[in-house]
Amino acid sequence: MSDERNYNDNEHTDDREKVCYMCHRTESRTVKTIRLPGNMHVCTDCLQKMIDSIGANGPDFGPFGGFPLWGNNPMNSNNGPMSDLPKEAQEALPEVLDENGNVITPGTEEKEEQPGGPGQGPGPRHGMPNISFINLADLQQGFNRRQQVKKKKERTGPLVDPEKVLPPHKLKEKLDEYVIGQEKAKKAISVAVYNHYKRILAGDRLNDSDDVEIQKSNMLMIGPTGVGKTYIVQTLARLLDVPLAITDATSLTEAGYIGDDIESVLSKLLAAADNDVEKAEIGIVFIDEIDKIAKKNSNRGRDVSGESVQQGLLKLLEGSEVEVPVGASSKNAMVPLTTINTKNILFICGGAFPELEEIIKTRLRKNSSIGFNADLKDKYDEDENILDHVESEDLREFGMIPEFLGRLPIVVTLQNLTSEMLVQVLKEPKNAILKQYQKLLELDEVKLEFEDDALLALTQRAEKKGIGARGLRSIIEEIMLDIMYEIPKDDSIGTVIITKDYIENRGVPRIELRG
């Protein structure tokens, strides 16, 4: 209902660009469009091509016959569709010539008798086919509900507010309030984001001078599941007032196959920028699960979701003009297209890269030798920070192509969370899990407390799951189920204390009554 209101003839807003119904190009990418009946717009190029294809000698459509452009043509009657064309469209119609080469003025051509009445028989061969039986309103139902790109407006100030571009140390302090550990990753992403927007703010001045042009530095984040890769970027999205899109690489396939086109990662960024192209061109894109597009070892069939996707992402990462569908995940005939320049878009890729540790260990063991000072082959088996030794050679062995790795110059590794870090995750962040449950019980005027031994036992259970901080949430949901169910029954409960025995299923929580 809202879409119909926005595109109503009487309430049509002017902050969106018009899209040609034929070629789906926006008005900024083509010539001016002409508004046809039913709020359908066609650019003059497509209108001329349509008229040229029909020509002055239209085909004979059986019983409908061919009709002249003027005179007896029922499409030119007062009630026909051609009568509603605007003046510009009528002037664009081709001139009709008689057999002697003279221009026929509308209304002065000779009338030819049609056997059996108008519209029957062969008729003159210089007319348009009768298509008046097509209901144009039916064709526009999908068109009127399309999303459109915002018009480019003259901006009074810069796209990025310099006051909101925090220096790296302040941005890291903001991340420390929400993310525990991963100091190296937080420092690297803070520097990358700061340099990215400092480069954009000073871009015009640097490009106009003889200084060296600063290029962007995309980032690759490697770490096991549940260590905070996605959470760091999500927190960054809340702190920055810039468009940020978080997308998944698992659904991407080569163009023409089932799945999302590669350009869909930019479609989400455009949607995050409210379809403002200029604002989207300075945004940040986080592509999660990037390891899922690794090159497959099997040679059977075409690798449409692996190496081919990496090849398609190359032009996006490096910077180029890309045609992006607006409001859809793939290009089709009913979706308008717009052009986005990815030169100033920062790409951050993240993935768990399972079994990468074994590839690193295999490479390191090849360097071991025999002798008193030689490294033992099992030296790296117990190394918890084995990912710190990652090199491009290991990532190529995993299945990433060299061209793709070359466009991600910054490689950051994240480590597994220890028991102490998991306890901090439970208590210290602003939106810690324990704080969320304590807030829920405060609404029932009940205080929730956890003993230190209980927190340690809880983190030990989470470590056995092997899914990092995500395991904490599932365990707390499990142990708090009965408590959240029973507390609303008794208004006398004042405090609930979670003990170690209750975490280990050997007892019950301590209850203290009010007063």
Residues 174 and 298 in one domain: yes
Classify 66 as helix, strand or coil: strand
Lowest mean pLDDT among 63-77, 185-199, 401-415: 63-77
CA dist 135 and 184 (Å) reads 63
CA dist 410 and 220 (Å) reads 6
Residue 60's pLDDT is what? 46
Mean pLDDT of 205-214: 61
Residue 89's pLDDT is what? 53
Q: Is the pLDDT of residue 119 over 70?
A: no
Residue 336's pLDDT is what? 77
CA dist 351 and 390 (Å) reads 14
Mean pLDDT of 419-440: 89
One-letter amino acid identity for 463?
A: E
pLDDT in tens, 158-182: 666 677 778 899 999 999 998 888 8
Residue 356 within any structural domain of the chain: no
Query: For residue 201, what are its two tokens?
Result: 């703010």
Residues 23 and 49 in one domain: yes
Residue 437 within any structural domain of the chain: yes
Residue 399 within any structural domain of the chain: no
Q: Which H helix or E strand runs over 439?
A: helix 433-442
Rg (CA), the chain: 33
Mean pLDDT of 453-474: 85
Residue 166 within any structural domain of the chain: yes
Residues 138 and 174 in one domain: no
Across 149-158, 194-203, 423-432, the highest mean pLDDT is recorded for: 423-432
Residue given tokens 């995993």 in the structure block: 398
Residue after which a domain boundary falls, among 112, 145, 178: 145
Residue 167 within any structural domain of the chain: yes
CA dist 184 and 415 (Å) reads 10
Of residues 417, 415, 441, the one with CA closest to residue 429: 417
Across 154-163, 210-219, 301-310, 500-509, the highest mean pLDDT is recorded for: 500-509
Could you give the dihedral angle defined by the CA atoms of residues 103, 105, 106 and 111, in that order, rounded to the nearest 10 degrees?
-80
Contact in structure between 111 and 72 (CB atoms under 8 Å): yes
Residue 321 phi/psi, 5° resolution?
Answer: -85, 120
CA dist 49 and 33 (Å) reads 14
Cα 358 off chain centre by: 33
Q: Above pLDDT 70, what percent of the chain?
A: 67
Contact in structure between 20 and 332 (CB atoms under 8 Å): no
Residue 226's pLDDT is what? 83
Residue 428: C-alpha distances to residues 154, 330, 471 (Å): 45, 42, 17
Residue 437 phi/psi, 5° resolution?
Answer: -70, -35
Q: Is the pLDDT of residue 27 over 60?
A: yes
Q: Is the pLDDT of residue 201 over 70?
A: yes
Q: Per residue in 421-454, is it b (16+ CB within 10 Å) or e — as a string?
A: bbbbbbeebeebbbeebeeebeeeebebebbeeb
One-letter amino acid identity for 361?
A: K
Of residues 386, 399, 60, 453, the one with CA closest to residue 223: 386
Mean pLDDT of 53-75: 46
Write the DSSP symbol of residue 258.
Answer: S
CATH number where 224 lies:
3.40.50.300
Residue 221's pLDDT is what? 93
Q: Above pLDDT 90, what percent of the chain?
A: 15
Residue 410 within any structural domain of the chain: no
Residue after which a domain boundary falls, among 335, 351, 367: 351
pLDDT in tens, 470-514: 888 888 888 989 888 988 888 888 899 999 999 988 888 899 888
pLDDT band at residue 362 under the 50/70/90 scheme: confident
Residue/partner pairs of 46-55 with CB below 8 Å, 24 or more apart: 46/20, 46/21, 46/22, 47/89, 47/92, 48/92, 49/22, 50/22, 51/92, 51/93, 51/94, 52/94, 54/128, 54/129, 55/94
Classify 469 as helix, strand or coil: coil
Residue 387 within any structural domain of the chain: no
Cα 323 off chain centre by: 14
Across 62-66, 169-173, 238-242, the highest mean pLDDT is recorded for: 169-173
Residues 304 and 201 in one domain: yes
Is the model more confident about 203 or about 184?
184
Residues 304 and 224 in one domain: yes
CA dist 297 and 272 (Å) reads 36
Write the DSSP symbol of residue 150.
Answer: B
pLDDT band at residue 125 under the 50/70/90 scheme: very low
Residues 83 and 132 in one domain: yes
Residues 203 and 68 in one domain: no
Residues 132 and 207 in one domain: no
Strands 346-351 and 284-288, how do they pair?
Answer: parallel
Residues 166 and 86 in one domain: no
Residue 208's pLDDT is what? 54
pLDDT in tens, 256-287: 677 788 888 898 888 888 888 888 888 889 99
Residue after which a domain boundary falls, among 79, 111, 145: 145
pLDDT band at residue 348 under the 50/70/90 scheme: very high
| Sign of the torsion angle spanned by Cα atoms 435, 436, 441, 444 | positive
Mean pLDDT of 320-329: 79
Q: Structure pTM?
A: 0.67
Q: Which H helix or E strand runs over 187?
A: helix 183-201
CA dist 151 and 19 (Å) reads 11
Residue given tokens 């989400």 in the structure block: 268
CB atoms closer than 10 angstroms to residue 321: 10
Average per-residue pLDDT in the chain? 75
Residue 220's pLDDT is what? 94
Residue 76 within any structural domain of the chain: yes
- Domain range for 118 is 2-145
One-letter amino acid identity for 139?
A: L
Residue 353's pLDDT is what? 92
CA dist 229 and 189 (Å) reads 11
Residues 181 and 240 in one domain: yes
pLDDT in tens, 368-415: 556 555 566 666 777 777 888 899 999 999 999 999 999 999 999 998
Residues 128 and 190 in one domain: no
Structural domain total, the chain = 3
